[in-house]
Structure 1
Amino acid sequence: MNNNDMNTLTSELLELLVQIHNKLLNPSEMIKGSILPPSHIKVIFYLSHKKSMSVSQMAKCLDISKPNMTPIIDKLINDGYVHRYQDPNDRRKINVELTEKAHSFLKEKKIEIKNNLMAKLSYLDEEDLLNLSFIIKNMHKIILKLE
């Protein structure tokens, strides 16, 4: 693939991501009615994929300053969404992990998101749904190959 083709591909992929963000996974729609602020939800969703990690490492990965991360974690602890503990391998390091309450919250949010997606997809005809299913499966296989 030459540079022009690669440039076109990356532009189209970027546009696709923007459309998915705007039309399917609008963050303001996803957090509507939630009792938690977006920054707290972001931490919970991120931790759900990492199981456990240090506060400073999470702050770096989420691009949240450590002084801003501390009150977020404190609030999540007070609300029962995360648990803080000392790293058994390095006593200077404090790790956090999700509680059962956070896992229940995520399960409910995922159901809401899936229902929202289902409602949006219901406007498509059978052929579009089959094409979309095929494309998603192939995209998933390809994206897993990326580093």
Structure 2
Amino acid sequence: MDPKTQEAYFQQFLTFITSVHEVTYDLTKDIKPDDITPVQYSILEYIAVSQPVTLSQISECKHISMPNTSRELKKLTEKNLCEKFDVAEDRRKQFIRLSEAGQAMMNEAFQRIGSRFLSRLSDTSPEELEEINRALQLLQSKVFYQE
């Protein structure tokens, strides 16, 4: 691929990423319960999608220092929204997962987000839905995969 084409693809990707952030904001605004902070909600959302996770995974993915991540997890544990448990193979390692209350809260949040998402697709034909599905699968496997 020539440099000009590479640059055009990259610019299109930047525009796409910006749109993803804007749509994410629209889909998730007013979803967070009032008794948790945006950072805490973000951590819960990550745990919900990736559980079980480690403290360092949360810290790295959410770009929060380890001490701040630990402090926020302590607050979430005190609110009974997540819990730590030991790894059988390595007693020094702990995983974090949502508690029953945390899972219920995130299920409700994801249902509301899902309704907003489906509302955006209400005028989409079955053929377009299939095309969107293929595009998302391709993006996931080629761009957003984890190494």
Q: In which range does the TM-score fall when normalised by the shorter chain?
A: 0.7 to 0.9
TM-score relative to the length of structure 1: 0.79
Poorly superposed stretches of 4+, deviation over 6 Å: none
Partner amino acid, structure 1, of 2:56: S
- Secondary structure of the 2:39 match is helix
Q: How does 1:132-147 map to 2 (within 5 A)?
A: 132-146=128-142, 147=145
What does residue 108 of structure 2 align with? 108
Alignment root-mean-square deviation, CA: 2.3
Distance 2:131 2:31 in 1: 32
Distance 2:46 2:120 in 1: 25
- Secondary structure of the 1:92 match is strand
TM-score relative to the length of structure 2: 0.79
CA displacement, residues 94-133 of structure 1 (integer Å, 9 cap, x when unaligned)? 32111122221121111211222344445x5xxxx23752
Give 1:89 shift.
2.1
Contact 2:32 2:109 in 1 (8 A): no
What does residue 25 of structure 1 align with? 24
Distance 1:138 1:50 in 2: 23
Q: 1:9 to 1:37 in 2, by over 3 A?
A: same
CA displacement, residues 14-65 of structure 1 (integer Å, 9 cap, x when unaligned)? 212212321x2216x6242622211111111211232212213321232210
Give 1:5 shift.
1.5
Q: 1:134 to 1:33 in 2, by over 3 A?
A: closer
Distance 1:16 1:57 in 2: 26
Give 1:74 shift.
0.8
Q: 1:20 to 1:59 in 2, by over 3 A?
A: closer
- Structure 1, unpaired ranges of 5+: none
Contact 1:31 1:38 in 2 (8 A): no
Distance 1:15 1:142 in 2: 18
The percent of aligned pairs where both chains have the same amino acid is 18
